[in-house]
Amino acid sequence: MKITVIGCGRWGSFIAWYLCGLGHAVALYGRPGSAHLAQFRQTRTNGLVTLEDGVALTDSLEEAVNGAEMIVISISSQNLRALMAGLSNYPLAGKTIVLCMKGIEAKTGKRLTQVTEEFVSPETPVAVWVGPGHVQDFLAGIPNCMVIDSKDEKTKTRLVGAFSSGLIRFYYGEDLIGNEIGAASKNVIGIAAGMLDGLNKTALKGALMSRGTREIARLIGAMGGKEISAYGLAHLGDYQATVFSPFSHNRAFGEQFVRGAPYEKLAEGVATTSALLLLSNRYGVELPICRAVDSVITGGQKADRVLSDLFLRSLKKEF
C-alpha cells in the first residue's frame, strides 16, 4: 500500500518507520523549512527513529498527496484545520485519511474527524488511530494494543489488517465519538497527574483515575457516544502511558508547571482543556477535574489548593 505520513515529529516519524517495516511504500512529509525534516534528510535519524532508505522524504504537499492511497496525519491537533484546507486543494476522493492524533479543536469543540470531514467528500473515508503507547517503548520492542475506529466498517477492517503486527495489536473501535473524546481527554488527566507528582501527592492518582474516567464517561454519553468507551483503550486503557510514564508530555508539563519550570514540548492537553470546558457548557455535564486543571493553567490559582479542594476536602459520593 502507498502511504504518506504527514508530520515528521516523534509520532509521525515512528509511524513512517513502523509502516515501512510492515512492507508498505511510505513517504514522510514535513512542511517546508521543517527542522525535523532537514535532520532526517541529513542523517536519516532524529535520535529516536532511524528511517530506512525506502522511506521517501518530501516537503511538497502535492507530491505527498498525489502519490498516496492512504494519508496518515500526525500533527498538533490545533493545526489540523489549516492542514486540511491545504490538502483540499488536491484530489482526495478514493483515498483514506487516518488521524493518529489526540485532541479536540479548542475554538469549536469539534472532534478531529468532524474537522476533517468539512474538507472531504464521502468518497474519502476518515478513521482514527488511538490508544496507549510511547515511541520509546515501541522502539524497544515493547508491544501494546491500540484502536482503529471509523464510521465506515470496510475502512476499519482494511486498516486493522494492513497495520497489525506483533508490536501493535489493533482492536476494532465501535464508538467513534467515545474513542475520540476519550483519547483527547486523557491528556487533561495526564496534566492533572503531573501536577500531583510535582506537589508530592502522587498517591492521589488513584482518585484521579477513578473520578476522571467517570467524568469523561458522562460527557461521552451526553454527546451521543457510549459511556463504556471511557473504560476502553482510548481513555482508561491509555492512563498508564499518560498518567505514569516518564515519556508522557502531558504529565511532564503538569509537573513542570506546578514547579514553575518551563516546558518546551507539545502538551496537547492544554488546548484540550479549553475544548472540554466548551463541551461541558454545551452539553450540561460537569467536568470538575478539567475545570480544576484550567483554573491552575489559565486562571492563575494555586495548584496545591485547587487539587486539595478537589480530592481531599469535597464531600462526594464515589460515583
Looking at the annotation, which residues are catalytic? 186
Pair 260, 303: CB distance under 8 Å: no
Spell out the residues 6+ positions from residue 84 whose beta carbon is closer than 8 angstroms to its own: 115, 116, 118, 119, 120
Residue 250: which of 259, 239, 260, 236 has the closest Cα? 239
* 66 φψ region: left (φ > 0), alpha (ψ -120 to 50), beta (else): alpha
Q: Which residue has the cell 497495520?
A: 163
The DSSP call for residue 49 is -
Alpha helix segments (H runs only) across 133-225: 135-139, 153-163, 176-198, 205-222
For 163-172, b/e burial (b = at least 16 CB within 10 A) is beeebbebbe
Sheet with strand 56-58: strands edge to edge: 56-58, 25-29, 2-6, 70-73, 96-99, 126-130, 144-150, 168-172
Task: Note whether 138 and 144 are within 8 A (CB).
Answer: yes
